[in-house]
Amino acid sequence: MTPILQTRDLTHTYGAGTPFESDAIQQVNLSFERGEFVGIIGHTGSGKSTLIQHLNGLLKPTGGDVLLDGRSIWSDKKFTRETRFRVGLVFQYPEYQLFEETVYQDIAFGPKNMGLKQDEIDQRVRRAASFVGIPEENLEKSPFELSGGQKRRVAIAGVIAMEPDVLILDEPTAGLDPVGREGILANIRAYQAAQNATVIMVSHSMEEIASNVSRLIVMNHGRVAMTGAPREVFTRSKELISMGLDIPQITQVFLRMRDMGLPVDTSVFTVEQALESLLTLRGGKGHA
């Protein structure tokens, strides 16, 4: 089966021909399968945001191509527009793009642009609102009287309501408290499971990445430096650190423990895994 989304030698140069010319991404070749949860990490300015804005055709590549279902999204205008709806993109701090009088209307903006029928729009708005946990009574409120975290949910619902096959989120949890963060991640997982959607998430939190994604892409200076399961990527901690990145704190603890001579498995990156690993270690010792 062809991957749902692919990039071929994707390159983007900002401000070509001006004194501010800069290569944001170079020769990026990636493919995304249906139903995958992929994480993208990379230092500030490594080109993550630039990359994802190509995936729904907001940015036109200066080199290379983007394929949706094996077809170039730039092959014709209609398909480019269709791509916008099939690949939903939630920007960084999306709460600043709210504009309608009510939460309901704001969530309905996307589906309306798709040209759906009124009752279909209504269904989708309510479904999207329930995915992100917006209570019914908030739908008629003005988005501007909600808290920051609630606004963010509304903004995410606005994209989910288009029911995209691929949902891309740029640092969806930035600036939220731990409960708000876990809440939003749970919403995203719920959407993914319900729609068998592909989710691509940019994040600076290694913990968040480690406990959610099935595959990880590491960007470094506009290029893909590594890709693989979190388990594989996080074992290359030295390389990650040299790229200005980090590994989950629990993994750091385990690496130190191994350095101190304990025979622990260092490919753990969530507290649950750590606990399990420690228990088996103790169990093993007990036998000996």
Partner 1 sequence: MLKDITLGQYFPGNTPVHRLDPRTKLILVVVYIVALFSAGGVVSYAVVLAALAAVVVLSKIKLKVIAKSMKPLLFIIVLTGLLNLFYSQGTPLVSFWIFTITREGVFNAVFMILRISMLITGTFMLTYTTSPIALTDGLEKLLNPLKRIRVPVHELAMMMCIALRFIPTLIEETDKIMNAQKARGADFETGSLMQRAKALIPILVPLFISSFRRADELAVAMECRCYHGGDGRTRLKELVYQTMDYVTLIGGVVFLAGVIALGHFGL
Ligand X SMILES: Nc1ncnc2c1ncn2[C@@H]1O[C@H](COP(=O)(O)OP(=O)(O)OP(=O)(O)O)[C@@H](O)[C@H]1O
Residues of the shown chain interacting with Mg ion in the complex, contacts defined by CB under 5 A: 49
CB hemisphere CA count around 145 (13 angstroms): 8
Asked if 172 and 37 count as a contact pair (C-beta separation under 8 A), the reply is no
By CB under 6 A, tell whether 63 contacts ligand X: no
Query: Strand pairing partners for 65?
Result: 8
Query: In the range 192-211, which residues lie near partner 1 by CB under 8 A?
Result: none
Query: In the range 20-59, which residues lie near ligand X by CB under 6 A?
Result: 22, 24, 42, 44-50
Q: Give the span between the Cα atoms of 169 and 185, in whole angstroms.
A: 11
Asked if 208 and 185 count as a contact pair (C-beta separation under 8 A), the reply is yes
Quote the tokens at residue 46.
């490594």
Query: Strand pairing partners for 223?
Result: 220
Which of 2, 29, 75, 97 is close enough to bind partner 1 by CB under 8 A?
97
Asked if 88 and 155 count as a contact pair (C-beta separation under 8 A), the reply is no
By CB under 6 A, tell whether 94 contacts ligand X: no
Provide the minimum distance between the beta carbon of 181 and ligand X in the complex, in angstroms, as a whole number: 17
Query: In the range 121-150, which residues lie near partner 1 by CB under 8 A?
Result: 144
Q: What is the CA radius of gyration of the chain?
A: 21
Q: Give the span between the Cα atoms of 127 and 211, in whole angstroms.
A: 26
Query: In the range 231-260, which residues lie near ligand X by CB under 6 A?
Result: none
Residue 162 binding partner per list Mg ion, ligand X, partner 1, none, with a CB distance cut-off of 5 to 8 Å that depends on partner kind: partner 1
Q: Give the span between the Cα atoms of 6 and 31, in whole angstroms.
A: 4
By CB under 8 A, tell whether 84 contacts partner 1: yes
Residue 91 binding partner per list ligand X, Mg ion, partner 1, none, with a CB distance cut-off of 5 to 8 Å that depends on partner kind: partner 1
CA 142 to mean position of chain CA atoms: 27
Pick from 81, 65, 71, 77: nearest CA to 30: 65
Residue 46 binding partner per list ligand X, partner 1, Mg ion, none, with a CB distance cut-off of 5 to 8 Å that depends on partner kind: ligand X
Provide the minimum distance between the beta carbon of 93 and Mg ion in the complex, in angstroms, as a whole number: 10
Residue 22 binding partner per list ligand X, partner 1, Mg ion, none, with a CB distance cut-off of 5 to 8 Å that depends on partner kind: ligand X
For partner 1, the binding residues (CB under 8 A) are 15, 17-19, 53, 56, 58, 81, 84-85, 88-91, 94, 96-99, 109-110, 113-114, 144, 158-159, 162
For ligand X, the binding residues (CB under 6 A) are 14-15, 22, 24, 42, 44-50
